[in-house]
Structure 1
Amino acid sequence: MPITSSAKARAKKIKLLLFDVDGVLTDGKLFLFPVPTSQSSGPASGPIVVEAKGFHAQDGAGISIARIAGIKSGLITRRNSETVALRARDLKLEQVHQGIQNKLKAFREILSAEGLSASEVAFVGDDVIDLTVMRNCGFSVAVANARREVKDAAHYVTPHAGGDGALRDVIEFILKAQGKWKQAVEKYIGRESGDSN
């Protein structure tokens, strides 16, 4: 999908970046590891299942750079996962909404809580469950491996797939459109190196 002037104009207004998790922040694969329970723990209720997901470090760095530039971040996901809760804490996400059956309702609640209009919020999705928010936000983004309907609804499609730096693509696009990328990167580098300049 070619980058349009409309996409850049929409990106200039963004103050909050929201995204789905499975298929956006991750590659969409779920790794479930059963851990047998002890016989002495009472009635058999089946194995305990430990979930694992892979997150791309460039997405995490991008979220830190976005925060430096004044853009908040958050997630809206249908599933509940302690792995996601841990990653959200690590990334210091301002909005974390798990176990959400109605993403549009959650989106509207976030707008109210943040005091933002829909035009000031971007949303990144990969599957049809994300369409309700994508159709109502100011800047809708599909990852490269999103379903066709999702790409068709997007103002921008990332060059990278979900879980492979797609969120970083979005952050760079937004900050470059706003003219904040270079300065935010320099501040990020200074923080990482301990340079306070």
Structure 2
Amino acid sequence: LLLFDVDGVLTDGKLFFLPGRKDFQQNPEQSKQLSAPGSIEFKGFHAHDGVAVSLARVAGLRTGLITRRFSETVALRARDLKLEFVHQGTQDKGVALEEIAREAGVKLDEVAFIGDDIVDLPAMRAGGLAIAVKNARAEVKKEAHYSTPHDGGEGALRDAVEFILKANGKWKRSGRESVGSALAES
């Protein structure tokens, strides 16, 4: 099971907000959950990371995200990537990781988490494999078992998926068939 943060891992960590249209009507309940109600938030996601999620799925690796913020943009990307587990607005990522592991029926030492900042440390400590993106904070890199060669938002998720699949002997074995299936999915 591979879980990851969003801002700083799937994205470069930058947040962009545009004022919402005056005639824009949000569902009041949904508006309370949004990190930036009344505005339009957008983020950039790297195509390599999208392919990585497809490669993971084809190889049998389940995926999901855990983030402190709540964003419609993230919900859209999660649906696009067909992520199995999506936890937004989470204050304690370690607790969320434990809940997801229980729901998935896996042991904590079978869970990898990718993070970039100190708010990710509880999840990194709770799982069996802690991964930091290249541009993670020093404290985070210090506790990681593996650091990606690429920055967050620049293909770091792809690095992590390749690392895990290669370590489990699923990279070469998957061959063209899996890559073709993954590319057809993405």
The TM-score range, normalised by the shorter chain, is 0.7 to 0.9
CA distance in 2, matches of 1:147, 1:193: 32
Letter in 2 for 1:154: A
CA distance in 2, matches of 1:72, 1:79: 22
Aligned to 1:26: 11
Aligned to 1:42: none
Aligned to 2:181: 191
Aligned to 1:178: 168
CA shift, 1:103, in A, is 1.1
Letter in 2 for 1:184: S
Structure 1: runs of 5 or more not aligned: 1-15, 39-46
Map of 1:159-178 to 2, 5 A cutoff?
A: 159-178=149-168
Map of 1:45-194 to 2, 5 A cutoff?
A: 48-191=38-181
CA distance in 1, matches of 2:10, 2:175: 21
Structure 2: runs of 5 or more not aligned: 24-36
Q: Are the aligned partners of 1:65 and 1:185 in contact in 2 as well (CA < 8 Å)?
A: no
TM-score using structure 2 length:
0.87
Q: CA RMSD in A?
A: 1.6
Give the secondary structure class of the aligned counterpart of 1:135: helix
Letter in 2 for 1:173: F
Q: Are the aligned partners of 1:26 and 1:164 in contact in 2 as well (CA < 8 Å)?
A: yes
CA shift, 1:117, in A, is 0.6
Q: Are the aligned partners of 2:116 and 2:132 in contact in 1 as well (CA < 8 Å)?
A: yes
Quick one: structure 1 residues 192 and 100, their matched pair in 2 at CA, closer, same or farther if it must change by over 3 Å? closer
- In the comparison of the two structures, how many residue pairs are matched? 171
Give the secondary structure class of the aligned counterpart of 1:184: helix
TM-score using structure 1 length:
0.83
Quick one: structure 1 residues 193 and 34, their matched pair in 2 at CA, closer, same or farther if it must change by over 3 Å? closer
Tell me the alpha carbon deviations over residues 78-116 of structure 1, each in whole angstroms, 9 at most, x when there is no partner: 000000000000100010000001111111111110111
